[in-house]
Chain A
């Protein structure tokens, strides 16, 4: 079946503009995650959605970052008033819930460049 998809694959924007990044999880996966990977670094957790539960927003770096998940499927990560330090690859992942393993399947990422 289809994996996690993300769009756009690349986004170049000017400082101060708003951007929206989209994630389509694997069909049937109830959990969805957003991570950020800065150049040469590991992944940094941003936000986690699980079904109808309140999302875990503990990783969002500032109030300029927000995310929503509509209908328990597609998610959009919005960054308002982008800054140069927001430049990174934004990765989305999804997983089944239940079971000890719950491995996360990642999308190809969106490379964001803020000029």
Chain B
């Protein structure tokens, strides 16, 4: 069964430093997509970055990059040059199925609470 595991309930990072948030996944489908979302204390879910299972390169979006290690089934989020506004809950999620997958539902991990310290 598909599953997302985030083993870090909480993380601290100093402002301007880089931080890695861990995510491992389990699926038997060769075609899948991996997502990271940010949820600030206000509650909205903000899409950050996407990695497809067949993508040859690691995804990058500004200060966010995804360290995709397919053989290890890991999709860690790297945030460079942390800012105070990065303090939030971060969720890793997976969608099984490829191009317009059959159901498109996302399976979420339990999240990592990141605190950026000045």
Contact = CB atoms under 8 A, between A and B. Distances in A.
Interface size class on chain A is 20 to 34
Interface in B47-85: 47, 50, 52
Nearest to B49: A103
B105 A56 contact: yes
Nearest to A107: B44
A106 to B, nearest CB: 4
A48 B105 contact: yes
A45 B98 contact: no
The winner among B46, B50, B93, B106 for most chain A CB atoms within 10 A is B106
Interface string B18-48: 0000000000000001010100000111110
A43 interface: yes
Interface string A37-75: 000011111001010000010110000000000000000
6 contacts: A33-B106, A35-B106, A43-B108, A45-B105, A48-B103, A98-B100
Given A42-B91, A43-B108, A103-B47, 8 more contacts: A41-B110, A43-B93, A58-B103, A99-B99, A100-B99, A101-B33, A101-B50, A104-B106
